[in-house]
């Protein structure tokens, strides 16, 4: 039996700086048997991401920011239920206690969300004290790894939440950068 036009058994999407992955991306790839997503910038994978890939047998997910917590326990269950082999290069980078461990050898109980949050990236710019004079503009930027839709960044000054105040020239902007891998405010 031949394959449909345009379909291939293997798909190499490695090293493309992909941060956002959704099940819709794989809708017409039901005959795909091998998928390589290594070298991309995602930290986590949404539940059911590969549900349309009924023929998938080999999956590579090596990422410098792969966060192995309870949000990936679905993946272990799915891999086992569908006899998919995770590549040896698919190792956890975060949290620290799982760093360097192959995801395929973990058990669901090891993928917890009860520890301290560790972010692959958390950066404040400027990172040092700044000397400014009255009337000068001082942009501050906080950037953190994007791990889930509920993640938010908040600014506080003297213990109080900072909000946009146009009359005082204080403006807050939220952005999702670099293909859904960084949250900036």
Confidence band of 3 (pLDDT split at 50, 70, 90): very low
Flag whether pLDDT at 136 surpasses 90: no
CATH class, range 10-110: alpha beta
Taking alpha carbons only, the member of 118, 123, 8, 142 closest to residue 67 is 118
pTM exceeds cut of 0.75: no
pLDDT, residue 126, reads 84
Contact yes or no for 63/103 (Cβ under 8 A): no
Give CA separation, 39 vs 35, 50, 55, 60, in Å. Answer: 13, 18, 23, 9
Contact yes or no for 42/21 (Cβ under 8 A): yes
Q: What integer is the mean pLDDT of 110-122?
A: 80
């Amino acid at each position: 039996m031949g394959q449909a036009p345009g379909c291939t058994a293997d798909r190499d999407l490695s090293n493309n700086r992909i941060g956002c992955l959704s099940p819709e991306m794989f809708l017409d790839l039901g005959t795909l048997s091998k998928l390589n997503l290594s070298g991309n910038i995602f930290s986590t994978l949404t539940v059911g991401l590969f549900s349309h890939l009924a023929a998938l047998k080999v999956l590579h997910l090596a990422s410098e920011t792969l966060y192995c917590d309870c949000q990936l326990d679905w993946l272990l269950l799915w891999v086992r239920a569908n006899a998919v082999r995770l590549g040896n290069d698919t190792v956890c980078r975060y949290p620290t206690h799982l760093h360097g461990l192959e995801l395929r050898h973990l058990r669901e109980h090891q993928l917890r969300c009860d520890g301290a949050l560790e972010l692959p990236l958390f950066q404040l710019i400027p990172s040092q004290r700044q000397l400014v004079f009255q009337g000068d503009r001082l942009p501050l930027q906080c950037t953190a790894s994007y791990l889930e839709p509920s993640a938010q960044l908040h600014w506080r000054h003297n213990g109080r939440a900072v909000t946009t105040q146009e009359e005082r020239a204080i403006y807050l902007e939220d952005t999702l950068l670099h293909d859904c891998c960084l949250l900036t405010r």
